[in-house]
C-alpha cells in the first residue's frame, strides 16, 4: 500500500488566494483526519470524517476553512481566502475505526503551506 | 479538556544508552495511546499503539507502557542509535477517534 497520499507537498500563495489541499487515505480505511502543525500550537485536529461524513469540525479555525470527502478515497481541505497566519504544515491521516477498538492513525507526508 | 504533557522537551544521549521518554495526560478516560516519531520536515510515523485495556506494547528496541489510573505512559528505547534521533510524540485517543498530542520530546543520539 502506498500509504496516505497528499498533494501538493509544498504550496506558496499570496494572501487572498484560494488554496486546496488534497488527500487520498489508505484503501479500506473509514476514518480521515485533517491536522495542522505550527511551532506555536503544535499539532491540532481540524476536522475528521467517519464513512465520508464529517463528525467533528470544532477544530476548524474559521469559516474560511472548509473540508469535503465526496467518496471513500478522496478528501479536500480548502482555505478561501488565505491569510499569512494560515502558513503551517497540514497533515492528513486515516485509520480503520471499528466499534470498541480504535486503531492506529497513519499520517501522510504533509503539505507545507506558505501564504505571503 | 484532555491535556498531554511530554517530559523532557529535549534529550541528548550518547549512542548505546537506554532511555525513557515520559508522557502524562489529565483525563484517564482514554481509548488508546499512540507514540509517533517525526523526522525534521517529515510526516509522523506510528511506532506503537496501546489500547486502553493493555499495559504495554513492544516493537524491536521500543517498549511503551500505559498506566491509565495515574495518567502516564513511557516509551523505553533500548541501545539507542544515531538513527533514533527525531522528535517523539505521544497522542492520546479519546471518544470519536480524536487524538490529542503532546508537544514532543526532541531526541538526539550522539555517535
Calculate the CA dihedral of residues A95, A34, B108, B79 and round it to 10 degrees: 0
Chain A interface includes B46 (CB < 8 A) = yes
CB A46 within 8 A of CB A115: no
Question: Residues A15-36: pLDDT tens digits?
Answer: 999 999 999 999 999 999 999 9
Cβ-defined contact of B96 to A110 (cutoff 8 Å): no
C-alpha cell at A42: 503544535
Chain A interface includes B42 (CB < 8 A) = yes
Looking at every residue in chain B, the average pLDDT score rounds to 94
- In a 3-state reduction of DSSP, which class is residue A27? coil
Window A:48-77, CB contacts with B under 8 Å? 48, 50, 55-56
Chain A interface includes B111 (CB < 8 A) = no
Is A4 a residue whose pLDDT tops 60? yes
C-alpha cell at B97: 477517534
CB B37 within 8 A of CB B45: yes
Cβ-defined contact of A107 to B96 (cutoff 8 Å): no
pLDDT band at A1 (very low <50, low <70, confident <90, very high): low
Is A97 a residue whose pLDDT tops 90? no
Closest chain A CA to residue B39: A109
CB burial class (10 A; 0-12, 13-18, 19+) of residue A62? exposed
The per-residue pLDDT for B1 is 85
Strand partners, A52: none
Cβ-defined contact of A50 to B46 (cutoff 8 Å): no
Strand partners, A22: A7, A76
Amino acid at each position: 500500500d502506498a500509504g496516505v497520499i497528499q498533494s501538493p507537498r509544498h504550496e506558496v500563495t499570496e494572501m487572498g488566494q484560494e488554496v486546496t489541499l488534497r488527500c487520498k487515505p489508505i484503501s479500506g480505511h473509514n476514518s480521515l483526519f485533517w491536522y495542522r502543525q505550527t511551532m506555536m500550537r503544535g499539532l491540532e485536529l481540524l476536522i475528521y470524517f467517519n464513512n465520508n461524513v464529517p463528525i467533528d469540525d470544532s477544530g476548524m479555525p474559521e469559516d474560511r476553512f472548509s473540508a469535503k470527502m465526496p467518496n471513500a478515497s478522496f478528501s479536500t481541505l480548502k482555505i478561501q481566502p488565505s491569510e499569512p497566519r494560515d502558513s503551517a504544515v497540514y497533515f492528513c491521516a486515516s485509520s480503520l475505526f471499528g466499534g470498541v477498538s480504535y486503531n492506529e492513525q497513519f499520517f501522510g507526508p504533509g503539505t507545507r503551506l506558505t501564504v505571503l | 479538556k484532555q491535556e498531554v504533557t511530554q517530559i523532557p522537551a529535549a534529550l541528548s544521549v550518547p549512542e548505546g544508552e537506554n532511555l525513557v521518554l515520559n508522557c502524562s495526560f489529565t483525563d484517564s478516560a482514554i481509548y488508546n495511546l499512540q507514540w509517533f516519531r517525526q523526522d525534521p520536515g517529515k510526516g509522523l510515523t506510528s511506532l506503537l499503539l496501546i489500547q486502553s485495556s493493555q499495559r504495554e506494547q513492544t516493537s524491536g528496541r521500543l517498549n511503551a507502557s500505559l498506566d491509565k489510573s495515574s495518567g502516564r505512559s513511557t516509551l523505553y528505547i533500548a541501545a539507542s542509535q544515531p538513527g533514533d534521533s527525531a522528535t517523539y510524540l505521544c497522542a492520546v485517543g479519546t471518544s470519536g477517534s480524536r487524538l490529542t498530542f503532546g508537544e514532543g520530546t526532541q531526541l538526539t543520539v550522539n555517535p
